[in-house]
């Protein structure tokens, strides 16, 4: 089982609770991993200096040499503690299963998606006491702090389809709210305004809507998936599963959303049509299945699972069939993002 605190719990503590102690930001090993819960932090040693890139460090995966590239994309970004106590960013090349380390820092770094052109990566970083939204090159170069507020927890970045804007979660108003800013970090604008927690934004492929997670109509901490227009208007509840729903991810055609759903103590990957119909379970496995990421061609979904005893990155067909382990490493590999 996992030996480090997962980003979900860290981010829940940082963003949802709002009490940011240094020992939470720089977590000690923990036997209780989790991913996909409300979190918005990545890692970093200081609020203004993200982890320095280490582009020459690589670790080959031990996957079958017969595995061919999957999902219409050649690379998957993920977080792993295979290099030490803390999570760093790694890039898996599906052509040869080579894993390249992109960051090396003194605290956890959690990934966000690639920019639409594939040239940059947004991430959540940790400073001494708070989390921030960061940006780096797709090779780990030139990391920078975009939000740069040393006294506020921020994270969960998501690119707009045109690459001009980044949506993210911020606690600058006292609770989790969805903001949007220019891709250089300028002109942040608040989209949601609710006394409950709104976090984890995800843009629709056409850029007109944003999916997010909120407990605004539930008991605190019981989350559902919501949709709103890209300007924050016309908020609608999408899921009402009587469980806890996290990590919305749009299908490339914009017709469906995959998400992690916790029902009766079991965490699975579900999918739902954007009109609220067609809810179905894809994994239905007694293990924990989190953090779905749709492949660029819409044919597969990557996710993390602990069905092998530790967190690994898996991929499955969109109907849940043929799950395959991509990482095969005794460390914890989490939070996959496809490069388009």
The answer to whether 153 and 40 are in contact (CB under 8 A) is yes
Of the candidate CATH numbers 3.90.650.10, 3.10.450.50, 2.120.10.30, 3.60.150.10, the domain formed by 7-338 belongs to 2.120.10.30
> Each residue of 194-219: pLDDT tens digit?
999 999 999 999 999 999 999 999 99
The answer to whether 62 and 328 are in contact (CB under 8 A) is yes
Q: What pLDDT score was predicted for residue 7?
A: 52
Strand ranges inside 164-285, DSSP E: 165-170, 177-182, 189-190, 198-203, 209-214, 224-229, 236-237, 244-250, 256-263, 266-273, 280-281
> Each residue of 1-46: pLDDT tens digit?
443 444 544 454 344 433 222 222 222 222 222 333 333 333 222 2
Q: What pLDDT score was predicted for residue 127?
A: 82
Please state the φ and ψ torsions of residue 101, each to the nearest 5 degrees.
-80, 130
Please list, in sequence order, all residues whose beta carbon lies within 8 angstroms of the beta carbon of residue 244, skipping any fewer than 6 positions away: 37, 221, 222, 223, 261, 262
> Residues 276-292, buried b or exposed e (16+ Cβ, 10 A)?
eeeeeebbebeebbbbb
> Each residue of 294-319: pLDDT tens digit?
999 999 999 999 999 999 999 999 99
- Supply 229's token pair: 């227009």
Neighbouring-strand partners of residue 294:
301
- Supply 151's token pair: 């006294």
């Amino acid at each position: 089982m996992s030996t480090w605190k997962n980003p979900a719990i860290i981010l829940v503590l940082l963003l949802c609770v709002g009490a940011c102690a240094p020992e939470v930001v720089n977590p000690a090993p923990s036997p209780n991993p989790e991913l996909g819960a409300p979190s918005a932090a990545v890692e970093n040693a200081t609020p203004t200096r993200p982890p320095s890139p280490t582009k020459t460090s690589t670790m080959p995966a031990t996957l079958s040499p017969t595995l061919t590239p999957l999902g219409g994309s050649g690379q998957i970004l993920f977080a792993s503690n295979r290099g030490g106590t803390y999570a760093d960013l790694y890039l898996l090349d599906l052509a040869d299963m080579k894993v390249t380390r992109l960051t090396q820092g003194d605290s956890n770094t959690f990934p966000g998606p690639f920019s639409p052109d594939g040239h940059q990566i947004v991430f959540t970083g940790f400073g001494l006491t708070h989390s921030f939204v960061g940006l780096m090159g797709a090779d780990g170069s030139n990391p920078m702090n975009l939000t740069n507020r040393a006294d506020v927890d921020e994270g969960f970045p998501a690119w707009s389809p045109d690459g001009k804007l980044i949506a993210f979660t911020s606690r600058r108003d006292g609770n989790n709210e969805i903001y949007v800013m220019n891709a250089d970090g300028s002109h942040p604008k608040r989209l949601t305004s609710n006394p409950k927690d709104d976090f984890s934004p995800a843009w629709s492929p056409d850029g007109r809507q944003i999916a997010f997670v909120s407990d605004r109509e539930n008991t605190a901490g019981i989350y559902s998936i919501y949709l709103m227009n890209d300007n924050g208007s016309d908020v609608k509840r999408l899921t009402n599963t009587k469980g806890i729903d996290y990590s919305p991810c749009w299908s490339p055609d914009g017709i469906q959303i995959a998400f992690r759903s916790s029902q009766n103590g079991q965490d699975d990957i579900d999918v739902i049509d954007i009109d609220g119909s067609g809810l179905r379970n894809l994994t239905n496995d007694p293990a924990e299945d989190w953090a779905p990421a749709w492949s660029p061609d819409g044919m597969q979904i990557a996710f993390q699972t602990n069905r092998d005893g530790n967190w690994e990155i898996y991929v499955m067909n969109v109907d849940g069939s043929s799950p395959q382990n991509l990482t095969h490493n005794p460390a914890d590999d989490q939070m996959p993002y496809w490069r388009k």
